[in-house]
Amino acid sequence: MPNAYISGIGGYVPPDVVSNDELAKRYGIDTTHEWIHQRTGIEERRYAAEGVGSGEMGYYAAKKALENAQMSIRDIDMIIFATLSPDIHFPGTGCLMQRRFTELFEGDMPRYVPALDIRNQCSGFLYGLAIGAGMVQAGTAKHVLLVGSETHSAALDMTTRGRTVTSLFGDGAGAAIISATDDPKRGLRKWQLGADGRGAEALCMRVWDITKRPFIDTPNGRDGVGVIPPEIMWPQMDGKQVFRNAVEKMCMSLMGVCFELGLSAEDIDLFVFHQANMRINQYVANSLGIPENKLIHNIHKYGNTTAATIPLLLWEAVETGRLKPGMKVAMSAFGAGYTWGAAVIDW
C-alpha cells in the first residue's frame, strides 16, 4: 500500500495590510495595538477586496501548489476545500474554485475532477489531510488537492462591540497536493482527530439557523426583507473557554500521535501549530517542553486565517528554506465545533 506525502505546497494572502492601529483608524473600533498584541501576538492581518472570496483566493494558492509539485490541475483526482467562510451558502466553494481551472473543460476529453467541501473550521486542514491521505493510501486517488481558504473580513463586526473577535481574524489561503509515494522515508506517519460538540456554542456564528421558521426573521412578512440581530449576524466567542480547551486538546492530540510513533519533542524537527492566538501556542509549547527554535509563527502578520493557517505556514517555511525534505514535522490545530487534530509527517 502506498503512503501519502505532500508533494506541493502553496499560499496566497491579499495585498491589503490592516494593522492593529488601522482597525481603530479605518473602522473606528475602540482598540489599540498594545491591547491586541498583548493578548494575541497579532500585529496586522490581510483583508480581501470586495468581490474577492474564498474560492478565488483558494484558486491562487492551488495554482502555486501545483506549480511547486510540477503538476497540472488535470493530474488531480480529487479537490477537498476546507472553509468556514464559503463564497455562498451553496453550492460548495470547492466547485466554484474548480470551475476557475478552465483547462479542465477544454478539448475532447474534459476532466470533471470531483470537489468536496468540509466544514471543520480551524481544524479543517488536518481533517482534509486525513481524508486525502486515506484516499491516496487506499489507491482511489494518486493526487488530491487540499485547499484551506478564508474570507473572514466580510463577516466580522467592524465595531467596538465586536472587537474581541474581529481583532483576531484575517483573510488568506493555503493549498497542498497530497500524492502517493513508495518512498519509505517520506509521508504521513500518523494522524489523530477529535471533536466535542458540547462546546459548539463557545465559538459559533448562528446566522444560518435552519431550525427557525423562517431561518431569518421577516417582520414585515411578504416583503421578504430579513432582520438579523448582531448576536446572530456576527461570530460569537467565549474566549476563556476556547483558550482552555485549545491548550488541553492540542497538547492531548500532539502527545497522542507522538506516543503512538514512539517520538519525543527531540525527534521532531519542526512544530506547525494552528495560528489562533500566540499565547495559546506558547502555552502548548511550554507545557510540552518544545524549544522556541522548533516553532514557526506567522500570526503576527496574518492573524487567524482558520483553515489556511497550517498550509500558509508550511508554504512560507518551504519558501524560506526553513522546511527541507527529510525533516519530521508535527502539526496541531483546535477550532470551533469543538474540533481538533494532530499529525506527524516526514517531509
Q: Which residues are catalytic?
A: 122, 274, 304
**From CA 338, how far away is CA 273, in angstroms rounded?**
16
How far does Cα 224 stand from its chain's mean position? Answer: 35
Cβ atoms of 192 and 342 within 8 Å: the answer is yes
Nearest-angstrom CA–CA distance, 324 and 99: 33
Amino acid at 344: V
Q: State the pairing for strand pair 115-118/78-82.
A: parallel
Report the SS3 class of residue 176.
Answer: strand
Cell numbers standing for residue 78: 480529487
Whole-number CA gyration radius for the chain: 20
Element (H, E) at 78: strand 78-82
Q: Which has the closest alpha carbon to 162: 27, 26, 337, 309?
A: 27
Sign of the Cα pseudo-torsion (57, 347, 124, 285, in order) = negative
Q: Do 83 and 307 contact (CB within 8 A), yes or no?
A: yes
